[in-house]
């Protein structure tokens, strides 16, 4: 199965685009959903986080996401500690979910694909791209966050130029009517044909063995 990593900055339109791919029946794996599930009460990752950060980040048996978020946002070393716990588990969970998928290709939504060094998990990268001013506008409207907070989040993410550099395909989401459905449909067809030619190539290779 062809594994397509879908990435982009906060508010670029990843969830919107993933929804459009899902309409074509393609399986969607979402690293954010995995990360949330991993820290639910009773999960081993939560126990590891509790041990590393202490009781102050807990609300009884549940994680106080806001407190942990504030700590890792303020102290880069604490962010690294958290990532050292979570990233290997997210990787393993993504790989396990890929094994369960059926179809020609799957979309793996990983907002921090570059930052978390997970590009090796995918065969191809599709980037949802828009100008940074537009990211801020969209997140402001969606989450009601102050622009300074959104800019601080963006400062912790890869730059637009870095993302463009590693992308195989780019979905241009720079306009209110960005013709997203058409762009996704074209890529869907492209991934179907890539998947078919990969399968044929693999068969040819096997025939030569």
Chain positions contacting ligand ADP, by CB under 6 A: 8, 10-16, 138, 142, 173, 176, 178, 180
Give the Å distances, CA to CA, from 199 to 169, 185, 192.
21, 21, 11
Q: For ligand ADP, give the closer residue by CB, 82 or 110.
A: 110
Q: Name the minimum Å distance from CB 50 to ligand ADP.
A: 28
Q: Name the minimum Å distance from CB 19 to ligand ADP.
A: 8
Q: For ligand ADP, give the closer residue by CB, 49 or 139.
A: 139
3-state helix, strand, coil in the chain (%, to 5): 60, 15, 25
Q: Name the minimum Å distance from CB 127 to ligand ADP.
A: 11
Residue entry with tokens 């950060």? 53
Q: For ligand ADP, give the closer residue by CB, 50 or 172.
A: 172
Q: Name the minimum Å distance from CB 53 to ligand ADP.
A: 26
Cβ burial, residue 108 (10 Å; 0-12/13-18/19+): buried
Q: For ligand ADP, give the closer residue by CB, 12 or 97.
A: 12
Q: For ligand ADP, give the closer residue by CB, 49 or 111.
A: 111
Give the Å distances, CA to CA, from 47 to 60, 61, 141, 206.
12, 10, 35, 46
Q: Name the minimum Å distance from CB 107 to ligand ADP.
A: 13
């Amino acid at each position: 199965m062809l594994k397509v990593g879908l990435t982009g900055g906060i508010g670029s339109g990843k969830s919107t685009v993933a929804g459009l791919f899902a309409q074509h029946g393609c399986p969607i794996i979402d690293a954010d959903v995995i990360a949330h599930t991993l820290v639910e009460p009773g999960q081993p990752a939560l126990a590891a986080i509790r041990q590393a950060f202490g009781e102050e980040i807990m609300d009884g048996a549940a994680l106080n996401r806001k407190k942990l978020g504030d700590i890792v946002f303020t102290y880069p070393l604490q962010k690294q500690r958290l990532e050292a716990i979570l990233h290997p588990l997210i990787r393993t969970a993504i790989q396990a979910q890929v094994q369960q998928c059926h179809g020609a290709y799957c979309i793996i939504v990983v907002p921090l694909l570059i930052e978390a060094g997970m590009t090796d998990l995918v065969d191809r990268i599709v980037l949802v791209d828009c100008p940074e001013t537009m990211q801020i506008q969209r997140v402001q409207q969606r989450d009601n966050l102050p622009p300074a907070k959104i800019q601080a989040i963006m400062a912790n993410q890869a730059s637009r130029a870095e993302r463009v550099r590693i992308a195989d395909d780019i979905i241009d989401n720079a306009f209110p009517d960005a013709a997203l459905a058409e762009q996704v449909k074209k890529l869907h067809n492209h991934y179907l044909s890539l998947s078919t030619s990969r399968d044929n190539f693999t068969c040819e290779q096997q025939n030569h063995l």
